[in-house]
A = this chain, B = another copy of it.
């Protein structure tokens, strides 16, 4: 992106749709360099995971100048079930994705701590998960990762739908972004440490729900 590899073969007036989560500053630097070559950049990170990507069922949050956004909209519409133009410059898509990942990363870690605590307190975790999801404690991530976290706690190898090392990367982007604006995010930082501990315990390629075994390692 932006080096001699791709930019050299693109015609002036072309635009690149960048769907990766790479951080705010990285995109701003690349966008500026591409703009000097007359190439637009739609900063369009996606959320939803591989399974939903295959069905075109993704949240796509775009940062792009208005002309680039219009140019890329047909492609973006085809990818996204939910397309949000969050800002009129590259970098704003990354900003939005960073905020999104803060919540996702914290919610998965909280689900791990909560279901581990339920287990350690002698509750039936499956019954507990059902009760939790019926009320104010519910989150998308608790419902999605909860069953696999319970499997992992029981010592089973849960199916890998999204890896621990993805959140090592993404929570790193979150805490760096917060630092860049002079903000402390202690809850997100604690979650980042859990993912790093998972990585150091050899869980990098395991499902992110396996983070439950970082707080209850004897079950790992």
Interface residues of A (CB under 8 A from B): 24, 47-49, 59, 61, 82, 84, 86-87, 92, 95-96, 98-104, 106-107, 109-111, 113-118, 120-124, 127-128, 130-132, 134-142, 144, 174, 177-178, 181-191, 193-194, 215-216
Q: CA separation between A63 and B96, bound complex, in Å? A: 42
Contact of A117 among B128, B140, B142, B183 (CB under 8 A): B183
Given contacts A123-B99, A132-B100, contact A107 B139 (CB under 8 A): yes
Cβ–Cβ contact A123 & B87, under 8 A: yes
Closest to A141 in B: B136
Q: Which of A107, A184, A187 has the most CB of B within 10 A?
A: A187
Give complex CA distance A103, B135 in Å: 11
Smallest distance from the beta carbon of A11 to chain B beta carbons, Å? 32
- In the complex, what residues of B have CB within 8 A of residue A124's CB? 86
Contacts of A116 in B (CB 8 A): 183
Residue pair B103, A114 in contact (C-beta under 8 Å):
yes
With A113-B185, A123-B87, A187-B190 already in contact, the answer to whether A47 and B107 are too (CB < 8 A) is no
A and B contact pairs by CB, cutoff 8 A, 15 listed: A48-B135, A59-B135, A84-B131, A95-B122, A96-B123, A96-B131, A100-B131, A102-B113, A107-B137, A113-B178, A113-B185, A113-B187, A116-B183, A120-B182, A138-B139
Asked whether, in the complex, the Cβ of B106 is within 8 Å of the Cβ of A106, the reply is: yes
Q: Tell whether, in the assembled complex, residue B110 and residue A98 are in contact, meaning their CB atoms are under 8 Å apart.
A: no
Residues on B with beta carbons closer than 8 Å to the beta carbon of A87: 122-123
Could you tell me the dominant secondary structure of chain A's interface residues? helix
Give this chain's copy count.
2
Given contacts A99-B118, A124-B86, A136-B48, contact A189 B190 (CB under 8 A): yes
CB-based contact A59/B92 at 8 Å: no
| B123 and A102 contacting across the interface, CB-CB below 8 Å | no
Q: Contacts A87-B122, A117-B178, A120-B181 known; list 18 others, CB within 8 Å.
A: A48-B136, A59-B131, A86-B128, A99-B114, A99-B115, A99-B117, A100-B135, A100-B136, A101-B137, A103-B110, A103-B137, A104-B137, A110-B110, A117-B177, A120-B183, A185-B215, A186-B215, A190-B190
